[in-house]
Chain A
Amino acid sequence: MDLDLTADQEALRGVFADFFASEAGPDRARAAEPSGVDSHAWERLLETGAPGMGLPESLGGGGASLADLAVVAEELGATIAPLPLIEHAVSARLLASIGACPDPVVEGTEIATLALHPAQAGTSRLVPAGAVARHVVALDGGRLVLASGDAPGTALGNHGCLPLAHRQLDGAAVLLEGPEAHAAHARALDEWRTLTATALVGIARTALDLGVAYAKERQQFGQPIGAFQAVQHLLADLPGLVDGARLLAAKAAWAGDTDPSGTDGIVNLNDNDITDFATLAGMSLVVAGEAATTATDRSLHVHGGYGFAEEYDIQLFYRRARAWSLVLDDPARECRRIADLLLGAA
Chain B
Amino acid sequence: MDFSLSPRAAEFRTEVMAFLDSHLTGEVIDTMHRTGTFNDKHFNAALADAGLLAGAVPGYGDRDPIELYVLFNELEKAGAPYDGLAVTMLVAGVINAVGTDFHREQVLDRLLTGRFNCCLGYSEPDHGSDVAAITTRAVQDGDEWVINGQKMWTTMAHEADWVILLTRTEPDVPKHKGLTMFLVPMDTPGIEVQAVPTMASERTNATFYDEVRIGDEWRLGDVNGGWSVMGVALAFERGVMGGTNPAVPLLRHVRGWATDAPSPDGGRMIDDPLLRERIARTAIANQVSQLLTLRAAWIAATGGLPGLEGSMAKLYATDRYQQAVGWFQQMAGADGLLGFGTDGAAAGGWIDYDARHSPVTTIYGGTTEINRNNVAERHLGLPRAR
Interface hit among A14-22, A179-187, A242-250: A242-250
- CB within 8 Å for A236 and B66 given contacts A1-B298, A3-B298, A241-B316: no
Residue pair B280, A338 in contact (C-beta under 8 Å): yes
Expressed in whole angstroms, the minimum distance between the Cβ of A245 and any Cβ of chain B is: 7
| Residues in B21-59 with C-beta less than 8 Å from chain A | none
- A308 CB within 8 Å of chain B: no
Q: When chains A and B are docked, how far (Å) is the Cα of A240 from the Cα of B279?
A: 21
Interface hit among A83-91, A150-158, A225-233: A225-233
Residue pair A346, B277 in contact (C-beta under 8 Å): no
Expressed in whole angstroms, the minimum distance between the Cβ of A90 and any Cβ of chain B is: 20
| Residues in B289-335 with C-beta less than 8 Å from chain A | 289-292, 294-295, 298, 301-302, 309, 311-313, 315-316, 319
Expressed in whole angstroms, the minimum distance between the Cβ of B292 and any Cβ of chain A is: 5
- B77 CB within 8 Å of chain A: yes
Expressed in whole angstroms, the minimum distance between the Cβ of A253 and any Cβ of chain B is: 8
| Residues in B1-30 with C-beta less than 8 Å from chain A | 1-6, 9
Most chain-A Cβ atoms within 10 A of its Cβ — which of B311, B316, B319? B316
- A170 CB within 8 Å of chain B: no
Q: When chains A and B are docked, how far (Å) is the Cα of A232 from the Cα of B372?
A: 8
| Residue from the list B245, B289, B385 in contact with A232, Cβ < 8 A | B385
Expressed in whole angstroms, the minimum distance between the Cβ of B5 and any Cβ of chain A is: 6
Contacts of A283 in B (CB 8 A): 280, 283-284, 287
Q: When chains A and B are docked, how far (Å) is the Cα of A89 from the Cα of B209?
A: 68
Residue pair B375, A239 in contact (C-beta under 8 Å): yes
Residue pair A227, B277 in contact (C-beta under 8 Å): no
Residue pair B6, A1 in contact (C-beta under 8 Å): yes
| Residues in B357-372 with C-beta less than 8 Å from chain A | 369, 371-372
- B199 CB within 8 Å of chain A: no
- B252 CB within 8 Å of chain A: yes
Q: When chains A and B are docked, how far (Å) is the Cα of A130 from the Cα of B283?
A: 34
* Number of residues of chain B lying within 8 A (CB) of chain A: 59
| Residues in A255-299 with C-beta less than 8 Å from chain B | 255, 258, 269-272, 274-275, 280, 283, 286-287
- CB within 8 Å for A271 and B380 given contacts A248-B287, A248-B288, A251-B3: no
- CB within 8 Å for A244 and B292 given contacts A229-B373, A336-B277: yes
- A224 CB within 8 Å of chain B: yes
| Residue from the list B251, B311, B371 in contact with A269, Cβ < 8 A | B251
- CB within 8 Å for A275 and B3 given contacts A336-B280, A338-B280: yes
Residue pair B277, A247 in contact (C-beta under 8 Å): no
Expressed in whole angstroms, the minimum distance between the Cβ of A265 and any Cβ of chain B is: 11
Contacts of B280 in A (CB 8 A): 283, 286, 335-336, 338-339, 342
Contacts of A127 in B (CB 8 A): none
Contacts of B245 in A (CB 8 A): 272
Residue pair A1, B9 in contact (C-beta under 8 Å): yes
Contacts of B290 in A (CB 8 A): 272
| Residue from the list A245, A286, A343 in contact with B255, Cβ < 8 A | A343
Nearest CB in chain B to that of A232: its residue? B376
Contacts of B4 in A (CB 8 A): 1, 258, 275
Q: When chains A and B are docked, how far (Å) is the Cα of A232 from the Cα of B380?
A: 9
Expressed in whole angstroms, the minimum distance between the Cβ of A104 and any Cβ of chain B is: 33
Nearest CB in chain A to that of B4: its residue? A1
Contacts of B255 in A (CB 8 A): 269-270, 343
- A11 CB within 8 Å of chain B: no
- A44 CB within 8 Å of chain B: no
Q: When chains A and B are docked, how far (Å) is the Cα of A272 from the Cα of B382?
A: 35
Contacts of B376 in A (CB 8 A): 229, 232-233, 235-236
Q: When chains A and B are docked, how far (Å) is the Cα of A47 from the Cα of B383?
A: 44
If over half of B's interface residues share one DSSP class (helix, strand or loop), that class is named, otherwise mixed; here it is helix
Nearest CB in chain A to that of B268: its residue? A346
Contacts of A215 in B (CB 8 A): 382
Expressed in whole angstroms, the minimum distance between the Cβ of B107 and any Cβ of chain A is: 32
Residue pair B382, A245 in contact (C-beta under 8 Å): no
Residue pair B5, A1 in contact (C-beta under 8 Å): yes
Q: When chains A and B are docked, how far (Å) is the Cα of A270 from the Cα of B251?
A: 7
Contacts of B252 in A (CB 8 A): 269-270
- A8 CB within 8 Å of chain B: no
Q: When chains A and B are docked, how far (Å) is the Cα of A340 from the Cα of B4?
A: 25
Most chain-A Cβ atoms within 10 A of its Cβ — which of B248, B276, B294, B369? B276
Residue pair A237, B315 in contact (C-beta under 8 Å): yes
Expressed in whole angstroms, the minimum distance between the Cβ of A32 and any Cβ of chain B is: 31
Contacts of A254 in B (CB 8 A): 1-3
Expressed in whole angstroms, the minimum distance between the Cβ of B102 and any Cβ of chain A is: 37
Contacts of A248 in B (CB 8 A): 284, 287-288, 291
- A4 CB within 8 Å of chain B: yes
- A67 CB within 8 Å of chain B: yes
Contacts of B2 in A (CB 8 A): 1-2, 254
Contacts of B3 in A (CB 8 A): 1, 3, 250-251, 254-255, 275
| Residue from the list B271, B281, B309, B375 in contact with A236, Cβ < 8 A | B375
Residue pair A240, B292 in contact (C-beta under 8 Å): yes
Q: When chains A and B are docked, how far (Å) is the Cα of A237 from the Cα of B386?
A: 19
Residue pair B1, A339 in contact (C-beta under 8 Å): no
- CB within 8 Å for A212 and B287 given contacts A2-B1, A243-B295, A335-B280: no
Expressed in whole angstroms, the minimum distance between the Cβ of B377 and any Cβ of chain A is: 8
Expressed in whole angstroms, the minimum distance between the Cβ of A294 and any Cβ of chain B is: 12
Contacts of A237 in B (CB 8 A): 315-316, 319, 372
Contacts of B302 in A (CB 8 A): 4
- B381 CB within 8 Å of chain A: yes
What would 26 A/B residue contacts be, using CB atoms closer than 8 Å?
A: A1-B4, A1-B298, A2-B2, A226-B383, A232-B373, A232-B376, A236-B379, A237-B316, A237-B372, A239-B380, A240-B313, A240-B375, A244-B289, A247-B288, A248-B287, A248-B291, A270-B251, A270-B255, A272-B77, A274-B283, A283-B287, A332-B277, A335-B280, A338-B283, A339-B277, A339-B280
- A229-B386, A286-B280 known; 17 new pairs, CB 8 Å cut-off, are A2-B1, A5-B1, A232-B382, A235-B380, A241-B316, A243-B312, A251-B3, A272-B248, A272-B283, A283-B284, A287-B284, A332-B277, A335-B281, A335-B284, A338-B284, A339-B280, A342-B280
